Structure 1
Amino acid sequence: MTGNTHIVGGIAASLAFAQITNYNPVILVGAGIIGALIPDICHGGSTIGRKFPIVSRLVNGIFGHRSFTHSLVFLLLMGALLHSFLTNESITAGILIGMSSHFILDMATKNGIKLLFPLKVTVRFPLTTRTGGAVENLVFAALSLLSVYFGYEAFAGYF
């Protein structure tokens, strides 16, 4: 999936999570966007890879694309690090939700992800799509609509 689809996926997932928690939805969404981009640090052409090219080259050189940074091991490691160093649970939750949404969206692509890294098993859904294709545009539109719906519900009490 492209960076924009991951961003909208992180927004939709964060706002949906806001429905069932008391976390601040603004913080959840901001952190969800960041989390939705983090796994692609392993790809130099990604939104985050272009911002941090040296880190991106290093991570890609060690692990390759869609392996360690797209795995449950990385998600758990990030959760432990965030819990240790951040006091705001909304930020930690948002980042982890954004990362999870990224994993789910990339499992819908033909290349899938190495969710069970270090095992070399590729995980993908039975029906997949091509990154940047027409189906991804439909996914983007659906996630945008879900973001509006969940956003209305999350912020209804603020207005």
Structure 2
Amino acid sequence: MKGNTHIMGGLAAAALANQWIAGPASLDHQLVYYGAGILGSLLPDLCHPHSWVGKKTKLVSKLVSKTFGHRTITHSWLFIIGTIWVSNLLQTNYSPEIKNGLVAGVISHLILDACTSRGIQFLYPIHIRFRSPVYTKTGSSAETAISGILMIAACALLAKEHIFHI
């Protein structure tokens, strides 16, 4: 999936998770939480030097890409555990929002990439690819539709939680 689809997925996942975890109440904590959700939705593509996050971390991205390849370790359970571990080391007033947002975003990224023809190696280092029975090609018109649906879902969830207080 492309970056914009992952961003919409991360925002929707963070909004959905917010309903389950009784997320942040104050505006600054909400902004950090949703920002972390968006960042988390892009982080797994650290293994792709031409992705948005790969371009921002060129040296690390190239090292991860050459060492592990694309959609392996950064698209696995190990990356989720690593994200939780690193975020638990943070000592800020926003630590829970950062951790919860990042994890929601990372999980959304893995789910979306599992919906592509290439799938992901979720059990890495075991070389088994996971792919949804219903999948699409990255950059296709179907992906554009998925991105639009995720945008509508994110807006609806955010409106429900923050405007209508349902």
Q: Which interval holds the TM-score relative to the shorter structure? A: over 0.9
Distance 2:115 2:98 in 1: 26
What TM-score results when the alignment is normalised by the length of structure 1?
Answer: 0.94
**What is the aligned-residue RMSD (CA, Å)?**
1.4
Distance 2:20 2:73 in 1: 30
1:80 aligns with 2:106: no
CA displacement 1:72-112 (0-9 Å, x = unmatched): 01111221121123442111010011000000000000000
Question: 1:122-137 residue pairs with structure 2 within 5 A?
Answer: 122-137=129-144
Task: State the partner residue of 2:149.
Answer: 142
Q: Could you say what secondary structure the match of 1:19 adopts?
A: helix
1:63 aligns with 2:95: no
Task: State the partner residue of 1:23.
Answer: 23
Moved over 6 A (4+): none
Q: What's the offset of the Cα at 1:26?
A: 2.5
Contact 1:10/1:33 (8 A) holds in 2: yes
Task: State the partner residue of 1:100.
Answer: 107
Contact 1:108/1:127 (8 A) holds in 2: yes
Task: State the partner residue of 1:120.
Answer: 127
Distance 2:31 2:15 in 1: 9
Distance 2:18 2:123 in 1: 28
Q: Could you say what secondary structure the match of 1:62 adopts?
A: helix
CA displacement 1:27-46 (0-9 Å, x = unmatched): 22110000000000000111
Question: 1:35-54 residue pairs with structure 2 within 5 A?
Answer: 35-54=40-59
Contact 1:19/1:153 (8 A) holds in 2: no
1:6 maps to amino acid: H
CA displacement 1:93-138 (0-9 Å, x = unmatched): 1001100000000000000001000000001101210000011011
Distance 1:86 1:117 in 2: 30
Distance 2:145 2:133 in 1: 18
What TM-score results when the alignment is normalised by the length of structure 2?
Answer: 0.91
Gaps of 5+ in 2: 25-29
Contact 1:15/1:28 (8 A) holds in 2: no
Gaps of 5+ in 1: none
